Amino acid sequence: PAREKTEHVSTFAYKFGVKAGVSMSMMSNGMDFNPDFKMGAGFRVGGLVNLRWGQRTENSLPGTGWFGLQPELMYSMQQVGTADKSFKLNIIQVPVMVKIYPTTQLSFEVGPEFSYVISSSPKSMTITDGEVTNDISTGDIKGLNVGIGAGVAFDFDFGLTIGARYSYGFNKMAKNLDWKMGNIQVSLGWLF
């Protein structure tokens, strides 16, 4: 008897996208002096690939399942204030978010975030803590930072995506600066 031919149907789908938004940054301090950090506003812009597999039901479209993965490549300008002045960081970020979809459009996301500080300005700052003055070489804030991000996103059927995320870096900002950065990100994007 002849065997029945079974056809393999892929349940995997992907979309490319762009996104931009605001970033509210803050700094934690592990140093002996208090810079009196204040939250600062910045922006972020970049691209992404939204990968999704599975089907919600047998009749659902491919890529409508419960799980996905979203790597991104973002440029971010982040700003943090102190009691005396503020400083800016120019950063390339690569978040890799694992996404869980409780509905076909709503997702919760969590994953690692790899950041590289390209430059900072000003190159040095004087920070006063009470009667003590500290000269800080903020130009030394460069290099790789590893952190984690978590958030929520909603993808509309026509392509618009909105999201909010919190990310926190684990590394010191420089060898002699025990400062670590966290930020709240709100973004709008478009999936193609």
- The pLDDT tens digits of the residues spanning 30-54 come to 877 777 788 999 999 999 999 999 9
- pLDDT score at 69: 98
Average pLDDT over residues 134-151: 86
Three-class SS string for 5-45? CCCCCCCEEEEEEEEEEEEEEEEEECCCCCCCCEEEEEEEE
pLDDT of residue 22 exceeding 80: yes
- The pLDDT tens digits of the residues spanning 89-102 come to 999 999 999 999 99
Q: What percent of the chain has pLDDT over 90?
A: 59
- The pLDDT tens digits of the residues spanning 159-176 come to 999 999 999 999 887 777
Instruction: Tell me the CA distances in angstroms from 125 to 23, 135, 136, one per residue in order.
Output: 23, 6, 5
pLDDT of residue 4 exceeding 80: no
d(CA 32, CA 159): 49
Mean pLDDT is lowest, of 64-68, 137-141, 145-149, for 137-141
